[in-house]
Structure 1
Amino acid sequence: MDPVIIAGAGPVGLSLALALARRGVPVVVLDEGTGVDERRPARTAVLRPDTAALVTRLGCAEALGHERWTGWRTVRRRGVVQEVPLGAPAGYGPGMAAGPGRPAGAETGTAAPVHLVQHDLTRTLRALLAHMAGSGLVTLAPGSRVDTLEQDAAGVSVHTRGPAGTWWRGSYLVGCDGPRSTVRKLLGIRFPGRTAVERHAVAALRTELPRPGEALLHRMPPWRDADDEVTARPLPGGVWRLDWLLPPGRDLVTPEALLARVEDTLTGWCGDPAPPYQLLDTGVYTVHHRLARRWRAGRAFLAGDAAHLLGALGTQGLDEGLRDVANLTWKLALAWHEGATGADVLLDSYQTERRGAVGARLRAADRALPLVRASGGWSTVRRTVLPGAARGHDALLTDSHLGRGPLGAPPAYPRSPLAPATAPSGCVTVATALGEPVADVPVTTPDGTTAGLRDRLGGDPLVVLVAPGTGVWDRRHWLRAGLMPRLSAAIAALPLAAELLVAEEYPGAAAHTVLLVRPDGHLAAAMSGVRPAELYACADALRGGATASGARTADEETPRKALRKAPSGTAQDSPTTAGH
């Protein structure tokens, strides 16, 4: 079968290529650039725990740079909202307990977000892909810009211009080629939304701030006359990224004005005189909110910035792009390896799940934005956006940066097309709702290996038996004990490969609960005891089989036919606002 063609060699395209290749799917990466990324210290990203874990599983732990803290808690000091890492030394911040990793009193933390420089991530991904190039699974084609796209029932043909201009043949095509995506334009897919939602001035500098390692969010700092907002993010090597929210308009930010902001901010935080610093990079970036009308057209898909743009109120575009990768990888791999059985339902579910999740996040940001930014508007935010909330807008913003709440939490897919049309008998409720990301509990494999549940993601679906006391079982006999023989036989009979794991406990689950977990870490089913027929039905639905709840296929919504450059604005693509 032909390889999967990936247009675009940013972090999303490279991550998708690496994830597919590691599942045995050959890939061709069409890179418009030279294959060497420009070093821009001010171009950084924040990865939440789920996307940082994906990057780690791909082998890019070193790109995450600095030490990973065990979690964060929020502290407000004189108008500064600070994300204080749990596990920091005693005295690191007010309220910290003496013991490492233990917050004082009843305070709780969340897993730490990771701040990283984007070119460090892409450099590591390129190196890993280059290492695999000799395996025959990876073809890297720098200097290749897509200019023509054709589809038929068996695959996709793509022509590129440039020094190595030629035709490429693939089984599928994924456009990861950014906001101005050529693939999206050739498919005739509209990209509606809002332009210039926010503007920020950015500076990357090496200096010493009073509390190393703490991300800061400072609203209305006293040294500024205007209603301002300043964010500082720690990066490896003593480097900080500082962001200033700019007032509406398109006023030019001069180098002198940017340096004045740096001086004012450092003086405000550290006292006069400001500490010495080395300015590494500067820039101004504009936040747009856009959502592609379709994410799949026949055998072509969109991912990352080609499919969505967001970034206001702490939402993270790269985070969402990597979640696209996690969702699409296992579905493309299954369709590529297993063929056409249920492939349309399976592949359509990528658009349904991911477009729905990103659209909900855009709607939440668009609703909150004018109220949060309005002077004295927080009471309206509480009443309109977050009914019953007892927190200020600082907390709303900080939650987003921490990966919590409607703007930052990992997505859930509660109405997935890959759920059985009828809930199987024996289904039970656990602390994780169907479609939500699973809790990262310790698990054991049949060979005695122990790991976190999320460490086993990215391959086959997981079947987890909750069996208290398994930690004391003799590994030579445990596959023949209790429910294990029947469960092992049920897994062997499933319509797709799955990995058997055992957990001592799982939140809200009784003993002998069986969990079916998707390769991207979302809960597909929870049932009481070993029920082979019900487990089979859930696994069959997971691959888009006859029992899946999704009734429509891509052929019904988007006829799969030979596609040359489609006209802009097809009948299905009426203008809309982002997220609606």
Structure 2
Amino acid sequence: MDPVIVVGAGPVGLALALALARHSVPTVVLDEGPGKDEQRAARTVILRDDTAALMERLTGHSFGDQESGARWGGWRSLRRKQLMRELTFSDEVPAPLHVAQHVLTGALRAAIADERLVKVAVESKLDSLEQDAGGLTAHTRGPKDTWWRGSYLVGCDGPRSTVRKLLDIRFPGRTAVERHAVAALRTELPRPGEALLHRMPPWRHGGAEVTGRPLAGGVWRLDWLLPPRGELVTPDALVVRIRETLAGWCGGSTPPYELLDTGVHTVHHRLARRWRVGRAFLAGDAAHLLGALGTQGLDEGLRDVDNLAWKLALAWHHGARDALLDSYQAERRAGVAARLRAADQSLPILRGGGGLRSYVPGSARGHDMLLTDGHVGRGPLGAPGSYAESPLAPAPSESEVAVATEPGAPVADVPVTAPDGSLVQLRDRLGLGQLLVVLVAPGTVVWERRHWVTAGIMPRLAAAVTALPHPAELLVAESYPGAAAHSVLLIRPDGHLVTALGGVRPAELYTAAEAALGGAAPKRRTDSRETTEKAESTAAASRPTTQ
């Protein structure tokens, strides 16, 4: 089996290659550049709890330290001189992770350097693509013209995606939805570690809105909302904005600061018509552009990775199942479209000045709540999407029980007991290509595992898990939000809930697992050692042909 070709070596493309490697699938990453990333302090990314955990799983690197990134301690929303909202982050309200993009990409490249299943081809620009019944052939230009053979191909090559153009996929949407002047600077502000949104600040050049977000090492990123098609921001005008903003936040005098980087960030909203054509797929900015009201495009690009990786791996190891591969577009495109709709519906209210603002009492406070939710990753503008309408959802069953997580939504990250008896977080068991079955069994934490693993319903549940049509891991949780004792949760490899059943129901569990896999059982199970050896031999044998 030929490797998967990933076009583009940004964060999404590199993350996808690492995610496939965790599933023992070899990849070739076609990097148009020289294999290095420009260090821009003003080019940063904000990751929510689920995508930050994904990046840390893939890289083995903790980004919340003092050198890599910053997890905010709190959030404030101001309007003129009035405090509108204040939020303190905790385990119940996880803090976003703010990190420079080159730091994130550097950690991905470092992890790939130690990964035998990933080959990065630098200075390789894709210019043609052909598909046939057995795979794809891609041609790249560079120091050497090269033909590459692959089983599947994923275009992670950004807004001007060559893959999307070669597949003749339309990319409609809105241009210049928002525009921001951006500055990264090192300084000391009165409340370090807290991000803030200041609407209609009471100084001359404050504009309509300015946001301050802390980074690691005492660095801040400041964003000023600009008119969508206004004049260019000159360096002198930007310095005036910086000085006035810092003075306004520091009691009237501008504190010392070191200006590190500046730029203008323009937000576009676009959504590709199709995300799959045969063996070729789109992901990240090649498939969608969004970013208004605090939502972040990379967040959704990494969710594309998490959704697609296990499905491609299943197809690579066991043969393609169109229902499973088609579900990538059905789930992810619908999720991104919902966020784009929410942003497009909110923008006229928040930016227009009239409309509902003239009729709804307390609308200013409601607007600040909406903006806060978008910035910190809650509500329709910021929360992870649910796949409630997924084609992989099982048929309703009388054995289903309600828990705090709706079917199709990401599961809560609760402590669980692993098969070896260790206590780990549920999220740590994701991304390994297997289904997860979680038994909610209060009281087990006070007993040694050897006492309860062969008692009660455990033997029958273990037998049911072994009989599932795909490898699955049985975990035990002391509790799960909204779940009664002896509830059994079936979870996909990307952490979305398939179903929750009341007690051990082998037939219903099997049916739900089969539906989550696209409705057809794999040809055979492959021993993990055999799978890894097969993938490594494929990666070693995949040699490009130059001309």
Q: What is the TM-score with the length of structure 1 in the denominator?
A: 0.86
The equivalent of 1:489 in structure 2 is: 463
Alignment of 1:526-545 (within 5 A): 526-545=500-519
1:117 corresponds to 2:97: no
- Which amino acid in 2 is paired with 1:472? V
The Cα of 1:72 is off from its aligned counterpart by 4.4
Alignment of 1:348-367 (within 5 A): 348-367=326-345
Contact 1:82 1:216 in 2 (8 A): no
The equivalent of 1:339 in structure 2 is: 319
The equivalent of 1:559 in structure 2 is: none
Question: Structure 1 residues 207 and 68, CA, compared in 2 at 3 Å: closer, same or farther?
Answer: closer
1:321 corresponds to 2:301: yes
The equivalent of 1:507 in structure 2 is: 481
The equivalent of 2:350 in structure 1 is: 372
- Which amino acid in 2 is paired with 1:49? D
Contact 1:80 1:216 in 2 (8 A): no
Q: Which of 477, 481, 489 is the matching residue for 2:451?
A: 477
Counterparts of 1:141 and 1:51 in 2: how far apart (Å)?
26
The Cα of 1:391 is off from its aligned counterpart by 4.5
1:138 corresponds to 2:118: yes
Question: Structure 1 residues 308 and 209, CA, compared in 2 at 3 Å: closer, same or farther?
Answer: same
Alignment of 1:5-84 (within 5 A): 5-66=5-66, 72=74, 78-80=81-83, 84=87
Contact 2:75 2:195 in 1 (8 A): no
- Which amino acid in 2 is paired with 1:435? G
Question: Structure 1 residues 488 and 474, CA, compared in 2 at 3 Å: closer, same or farther?
Answer: same
Contact 1:462 1:519 in 2 (8 A): yes
Counterparts of 1:207 and 1:463 in 2: how far apart (Å)?
48
Contact 1:81 1:398 in 2 (8 A): no
The equivalent of 1:525 in structure 2 is: 499
Counterparts of 1:21 and 1:9 in 2: how far apart (Å)?
15
Counterparts of 1:3 and 1:285 in 2: how far apart (Å)?
36
Counterparts of 1:14 and 1:56 in 2: how far apart (Å)?
13
The equivalent of 1:182 in structure 2 is: 162
The Cα of 1:32 is off from its aligned counterpart by 0.3
- Which amino acid in 2 is paired with 1:191? F
Question: Structure 1 residues 27 and 538, CA, compared in 2 at 3 Å: closer, same or farther?
Answer: same
Q: Deviations over 1:29-65 (max 9, x none)?
A: 0000000000000000110111111111112534444
The Cα of 1:424 is off from its aligned counterpart by 3.0
Alignment of 1:273-312 (within 5 A): 273-312=253-292
- Which amino acid in 2 is paired with 1:339? G
Give the aligned CA root-mean-square deviation in angstroms: 2.1
The Cα of 1:307 is off from its aligned counterpart by 0.2
The Cα of 1:382 is off from its aligned counterpart by 6.5
Alignment of 1:203-222 (within 5 A): 203-222=183-202
Query: 247-256 or 533-542: which moved more?
Result: 247-256
The equivalent of 2:112 in structure 1 is: 129
Counterparts of 1:488 and 1:212 in 2: how far apart (Å)?
50
Counterparts of 2:348 and 2:49 in 1: how far apart (Å)?
28
Q: Deviations over 1:315-362 (max 9, x none)?
A: 10011101111111111111111213xx11001101000000000100
Question: Structure 1 residues 289 and 353, CA, compared in 2 at 3 Å: closer, same or farther?
Answer: same
Contact 1:82 1:215 in 2 (8 A): no
The Cα of 1:81 is off from its aligned counterpart by 5.5
Question: Structure 1 residues 113 and 272, CA, compared in 2 at 3 Å: closer, same or farther?
Answer: same
Determine helix, strand or coil for the equivalent of 2:223. Answer: strand
Contact 1:349 1:417 in 2 (8 A): yes
Counterparts of 1:122 and 1:64 in 2: how far apart (Å)?
15
The Cα of 1:377 is off from its aligned counterpart by 4.9
Q: Deviations over 1:112-151 (max 9, x none)?
A: 001110000001100110111xx2x111100001000000
Counterparts of 1:338 and 1:40 in 2: how far apart (Å)?
42
Contact 2:438 2:475 in 1 (8 A): yes
Determine helix, strand or coil for the equivalent of 1:392. Answer: helix
- Which amino acid in 1 is paired with 2:18? L
Counterparts of 2:230 and 2:127 in 1: how far apart (Å)?
33
Alignment of 1:86-485 (within 5 A): 86=89, 110-132=93-115, 135=116, 137-224=117-204, 228-340=208-320, 343-377=321-355, 379=357, 391-420=365-394, 422-459=395-432, 460-485=434-459
Query: 328-337 or 467-476: which moved more?
Result: 467-476
Counterparts of 1:34 and 1:69 in 2: how far apart (Å)?
31
Counterparts of 2:419 and 2:364 in 1: how far apart (Å)?
47
Q: Deviations over 1:194-253 (max 9, x none)?
A: 001111000000011111000010000000367510001100010000000012324111
The equivalent of 2:3 in structure 1 is: 3
Contact 2:409 2:496 in 1 (8 A): yes
Alignment of 1:546-557 (within 5 A): 546=520
- Which amino acid in 2 is paired with 1:41? A
Determine helix, strand or coil for the equivalent of 2:165. Answer: helix
- Which amino acid in 2 is paired with 1:545? G
The Cα of 1:531 is off from its aligned counterpart by 1.1
Q: Deviations over 1:46-103 (max 9, x none)?
A: 101111111111125344444765974656583355665446xxxxxxxxxxxxx8xx
- Which amino acid in 2 is paired with 1:518? R
Question: Structure 1 residues 389 and 426, CA, compared in 2 at 3 Å: closer, same or farther?
Answer: farther
Counterparts of 1:244 and 1:297 in 2: how far apart (Å)?
40
Counterparts of 2:332 and 2:77 in 1: how far apart (Å)?
33
The Cα of 1:455 is off from its aligned counterpart by 1.9
Counterparts of 1:70 and 1:465 in 2: how far apart (Å)?
34
- Which amino acid in 2 is paired with 1:348? D
Counterparts of 1:499 and 1:458 in 2: how far apart (Å)?
12
Report how many residues are paired: 517
The Cα of 1:273 is off from its aligned counterpart by 2.7
Counterparts of 1:382 and 1:484 in 2: how far apart (Å)?
56
Counterparts of 2:383 and 2:393 in 1: how far apart (Å)?
22
- Which amino acid in 2 is paired with 1:127? A
Question: Structure 1 residues 374 and 70, CA, compared in 2 at 3 Å: closer, same or farther?
Answer: closer
Counterparts of 1:272 and 1:368 in 2: how far apart (Å)?
34
Counterparts of 1:509 and 1:129 in 2: how far apart (Å)?
39
The equivalent of 1:576 in structure 2 is: none
Question: Structure 1 residues 81 and 41, CA, compared in 2 at 3 Å: closer, same or farther?
Answer: farther
Determine helix, strand or coil for the equivalent of 1:249. Answer: coil
Question: Structure 1 residues 229 and 378, CA, compared in 2 at 3 Å: closer, same or farther?
Answer: farther
Contact 1:198 1:288 in 2 (8 A): yes
Determine helix, strand or coil for the equivalent of 2:126. Answer: strand
Determine helix, strand or coil for the equivalent of 2:59. Answer: coil
Contact 2:76 2:195 in 1 (8 A): no
Counterparts of 2:364 and 2:253 in 1: how far apart (Å)?
38
